[in-house]
Every structure is written in C-alpha cells, then in structure tokens.
Amino acid sequence: MAYLNTVGKPNILVVGAGAVGTTLAAYLMAARQSVRLLIRERHTAEFQAASQLTVDRIGGGESLRVPKPELFTKLDLTGIDFLLICVKHAALDGVIAQLPSTLPPGMTLVSTLNGISAVPRLRRCYPADQVSNVTVMFNAQLLSPLHSQITTKPQIIIDSGDSKLLELFNNSGMEVKRTNGEAIAWGKLLLNLANAVCAITHTTAKDLLTVPDLRAIYAAVLDEAVDLIEHAGISYQLPLPLPYKLFRQLILHGGPLPWWIARVRNGLQAGSYPSMVADVEGGRATEVNQLNGEIVSLGRAQNLPTPINSGIVDLVREFEGKPPPPYLKPAALRARLGL
C-alpha cells in the first residue's frame, strides 16, 4: 500500500505512544492520514528502532501493519489541525503545561481519556468549540514500542459534529460512531467502574462477568452509581441498548449471557483485562479517582453516601505504588464491602 499522498489532508498530532495512542495512530495511518506521534524523549532510540506500526487483533484476524508516522519529542503545533491527547489522567496537566495559552485558530483538541473530567478540564483552558471528546470503546495494551494489541473490536464514539474529525478514520477498519453530549461518556464510565474491581482482585473481564462474587460486587457498584447519576439528573447511555434495570438483571442472573454478549458484540477476548489491572500490578498511579472517584464526588455534591465506590477507591489507592499489591479474592472483597 502507498501511504505517501497526504496532500490536502488535515495534520494530526497524537500525544502519547501508549496503548491508545499507538492503536489510534496505526488506524489513522491505515486511513492514509498525515500523522505525527509525540513520544517521550527518553524512549527515542527504542521508537526509532521499530520499523513500522503494528496492532495485533486478538481473535479479529490479521495484524494491522502500517508505516510508522513521523516521531517527535517536542510538542509543536505548527500546521496541526487535530491534537489527539492519548495520555492517562496523571499526565494530563503535563500535556496542558506544554500547550500554548491560545490554540492556533481552527485547531481542535481531542481527548481520548476515560472518565468525564478531562474535557471540562480542557474547556476551562480553551474555548469549548476547540475541544472534543472521543470515547474509546476498544481495549488495548502496548506490547512494545509502536506495537499494540487490541482485545475487542476497534470502535470509537466521537462527540462532535465536525465532519473532518468524523471522517479521519474512514476506510481504516476503525468503526466510528457519532454522538452529541456526555451521555455515552457517562455510560462508558459505568462500564469502567468494573476496572477497579478487577484491579483489586487481579481478575480479567471474563472473570468479572462469570464469577458470581464479582458479578454481585459489580452490580452493587453500578447500583450505587446509577442511583446517584439519576438523582443528579445526568443523562447516561449504556453501551448496550438496555434500560439499567435489565442490564443489572443480566449481570446478576443472566448466567453465561453477559460474557457471551461481550464476546459477540464487542469481540472481547478471554484474556482481556482493564489497564488498571496492569497499573496496580506495576505499582503505577491509576485512574480510579476519575472513575469510581467521580461517583464519590457526585455523592459528596448531593450529600449522599457512597460506601461501595468509596471502599473501592480506598483499596486501589492503598495498592498504588506497592507492587505486588495484597490482592483480595473476590469473596474477600465482597465481604469487605459488606455485600
């Protein structure tokens, strides 16, 4: 395939060559876009040594192999139309510190961060119409520099009416849906409340949907969150087109159905685990404050208790920076949360 003709195409800078940044950069290259990738200076040699960008698609056929984009170690916005921020929350302030106080006219910042706090954070710095959100629906891990693996179908949901942004991934194999407003991001946050449960118990997504103690914990975490979200009048849209009551019935009493649906609908693979599992295992900071912690903040704002999500946040925070953490068995976590 020739990847040379990017004349007239928007220029895209992907910030962060981790699991999401590498995967999105590869699909953008497959869409024959003009892509630059901002990497850490200390990783330059390893990234230069990689000959191409690769995304392995477990269970989904052949790997995607494309030429690597131009690599940069300094953030330079000259000529950039879309800046995709693909870092974790702990690094977001560092990225904002590298940005100028006024963005180049016509440039759009695109957040791919999980949770719902990154976009308001960016909009406090820049005009709302220069900031868009992408909800990343796939699950990815970085295997080595410029080499990631996805364990679900490649799918993103873009909260924007900008046709140029919506068309960036055309013909790349990345499924793109459009949304308007935060409901999808809140729905994804509800799914991501499971990440901490897996991190504390060192379990996979399959375990979460098949082990009865984990299913009971997840339903309780969700019940608390959904009550608060509904009490606050926030719209949310679950990734499955089901009302919440039915969704929780499925989690609690659906037998093999939840795992079967996750496999067939999202292409979820048996070994797939949320990245918080790897963060806790590696002693790194997690995004629990921006996920379950968001529910705790919502409770605080409404003067309502959040014992389950608070308990989960406290445990993950205890585990951070202490590898190997003292993982709990699912039954022990259930007992600890009083369920």
- DSSP for 105-153, written as a single string: TT-EEEE--SSSSHHHHHHHHS-GGGEEEEEE-S-EEEEETTEEEESS-
Tokens of 303: 């003067």
Cβ(302)–Cβ(228) below 8 Å: yes
Site for ligand NAP contains 29 (CB under 6 A): no
Q: How far is the CB of 148 from ligand NAP (least distance, A)?
A: 8
Q: How far is the CB of 152 from ligand NAP (least distance, A)?
A: 8
Q: Toward ligand NAP, which CB reaches closer, 142 or 337?
A: 142
Site for ligand NAP contains 17 (CB under 6 A): yes
Cβ(78)–Cβ(106) below 8 Å: no
Among 20, 110, 214, 316, binds ligand NAP (CB under 6 A): 20
Q: Which helix (H) or strand (E) holds 85?
A: strand 82-85
Beta bridge partners of 53: 66
* Cα separation values, 169 from 47, 51, 175, Å: 23, 22, 8
Q: How far is the CB of 163 from ligand NAP (least distance, A)?
A: 24
Cβ(134)–Cβ(157) below 8 Å: yes
Q: Which helix (H) or strand (E) holds 230?
A: helix 212-231
A 10 A CB-CB count for 106 gives 10
Tokens of 192: 């991501």
Question: Binding marks (x or -) toward ligand NAP, 271..300, rule CB under 6 A?
Answer: ----x-----------x-------------
Question: Binding marks (x or -) toward ligand NAP, 79..118, rule CB under 6 A?
Answer: -------xxxx-x--xx--x-------------xxx----
Nearest residue to ligand NAP by CB is 18
Total binding residues toward ligand NAP, as defined by CB under 6 A: 26
Site for ligand NAP contains 266 (CB under 6 A): no
Q: Toward ligand NAP, which CB reaches closer, 46 or 314?
A: 46
Residues from 124 through 143 that contact ligand NAP (CB under 6 A)? 136, 139-140, 142
Interacting residue ranges for ligand NAP, rule: CB under 6 A: 15-21, 38, 40, 86-89, 91, 94-95, 98, 112-114, 136, 139-140, 142, 275, 287
